[in-house]
Structure 1
Amino acid sequence: MSWNSLTDRQKSLDRAIEQCGIKLDSSDTCLCKVMNIIGASASEASFVKQRIELRLRTAALLNQTDDFISNTEKMLDQFEKNDEEWRRKGRALGFDF
């Protein structure tokens, strides 16, 4: 469900979920608390649940992406250290790598 296809009410609910101040999780307790805080009706429960799940999946994906970037940076640093070590060893033997 893209942002442009949401109704004004759905957009309002989505923004309210972001600003509700509750640590989101996939429990029914969390859903009830969020719905009470944002003023969602019972008929809007499935939409609120979908948007909470979307936020949770997005957060997990961002964490995975951060980890991937961090691991890539570590790997590149290790490559640079290995290259410098080979250059140093080569210079000691009279080679210029």
Structure 2
Amino acid sequence: KEKEKEKEDDEEEEDEDASGGDQDQEERRWNKRTQQMLHGLQRALAKTGAESISLLELCRNTNRKQAAAKFYSFLVLKKQQAIELTQEEPYSDIIATPGPRFHII
């Protein structure tokens, strides 16, 4: 069942690439995914009352491709100053906390 899901994800990406994979389309896709990530973080922090969220926790029970997409979204949100990222040492967990524009974007 997991393999079928991965195959569907791959097919979706191929379809997107085939339909004129220009920069705008790529940006829209990542913007949508990043926006979903931001809303998810806002909900999670509001619901739990926590001050931070762990990338490792977010990626639990996801495949490598999904984890890479979440990591990329973290970087985009950092660039947009929606979140702050900290990492104690290389290869350790990445912790996100609300940034200056967390509630604005």
TM-score interval w.r.t. the shorter chain?
Answer: 0.3 to 0.5
* Structure showing greater relative contact order (alpha-carbon pairs closer than 8 Å, 6 or more residues apart): 2
Instruction: Give the TM-score normalised by the residue count of structure 2.
Output: 0.33
Please state which structure has a larger fraction of its residues in strand. Answer: 2
Report the TM-score when normalising by structure 1: 0.34
